[in-house]
Amino acid sequence: MNTKLLIQFISFLCSLSVLPAQKEDSLTKFLPEDTHVARATLAGDSKRETGYNALFMGHSFFWPAANEVGKLTPETTIKNHKQYLIRGGGKTGSAKFLWEIDKLRIDGQKQLDTKEIDLLVMVYRNPDNSRVEDFSRWFDYALSKNPKTTFMITQSWSTHLHAVDNKRIEELRKGAYWMNENLITKLRKKYPKNKILFCPHMLATYELITRFKKGELSGIKHILNMDAVARKVSRKNGDQLLNDPLGHPGELVAKLGGLLMLKTIYDYDLSKSKPIRARNLPGVDLNKIAETLSKEIEPFNR
């Protein structure tokens, strides 16, 4: 072959290997909905259009907000978000006991065995039952079924908040930095190929208490109605933040926590969703509060 023809032939081969750049989200719309690789790579992308098949597992300071995620996604442009919720009360909702209690472990594994779960969401409880090794048992099992699983760890608030002062609330808010350093960073180092999100949804509770004390929550009368009889009425009317002395969330707290989870999972612009309001509280703009709080959470997920 003469030199001129050889050069033309090589140029032709090179042209075949050069394709125009395309955005990830433009490619995925041509893939099946259960294509885990494509869907997982869009985690944290506000342009993501296809929802996760999510498994939420945790305790009673976690599941009201987790349940709200399923209610809130239809108010967004996110399509086909599906979720399953496994509940363990108190310490049984921690990573350790969710694994060690046969029924809870089997329930979780049953969902993961479908190989369709591509988002696993769990909650930190305390250092005794929420260690790296406790989460790792769930992470390893999930990855054995779907290697492209995305994970999210959440962090709930402290108990008996009706009895604490403003200084203590501010101290508790800083717990997210401890969590990021002592758990999230270690999990990311152990699982470098998978996205691990961190959502301290506790910030919803602390923020609402702070705003209430400043007189900025129209319609809210109590952190917790201290009259045990009248408390039932306050719970029904939605005019208290917490439903009992331990600190289980009222509707407003649960909805805001759910918005923070949704925002962290999808990086969704909440100004595009319908206005989210709690029952009997039209003056509390949860979309706006969630967008403000998300700025505290974003640095943990960069």
pLDDT of residue 271: 82
What CA–CA distance (Å, rounded) separates 139 from 297?
Answer: 22
pLDDT of residue 5: 41
Shortest CA distance to 156 belongs to which of 97, 103, 90? 90
What CA–CA distance (Å, rounded) separates 28 from 25?
Answer: 5
Which band of pLDDT confidence, cut at 50, 70 and 90, is reported for residue 242? very high
Residue 39 has pLDDT above 90, yes or no: no
* Radius of gyration of the chain from its Cα atoms, rounded to whole angstroms: 22
Helix (H, G, I), strand (E, B) or coil at 225: coil
SS (H, E, C) 176-207: HHHHHHHHHHHHHHHCCCCCEEEECCHHHHHH
Dump pLDDT digits (tens) for 73-130: 998 999 999 999 999 999 999 999 999 999 999 999 999 999 999 999 999 999 999 9
Which band of pLDDT confidence, cut at 50, 70 and 90, is reported for residue 33? very low
Q: Which helix (H) or strand (E) holds 134?
A: helix 132-145
User: Got the DSSP string for 36-100?
Assistant: HHHHHTTTT-TT--BPPEEEEEE-TTTHHHHHHHHHHGGGSS-B--EEEEEE--GGGGSHHHHHH
Chain centroid, CA 7 distance in Å: 55
Domains of the chain, earliest start first: 46-301 (3.40.50.1110)
3-state helix, strand, coil in the chain (%, to 5): 50, 10, 35
What CA–CA distance (Å, rounded) separates 203 from 239?
Answer: 19
Strand partners, 150: 119
pLDDT of residue 51: 95
For residues 158-171, average pLDDT: 95
Residue 32 has pLDDT above 80, yes or no: no
pLDDT of residue 48: 55
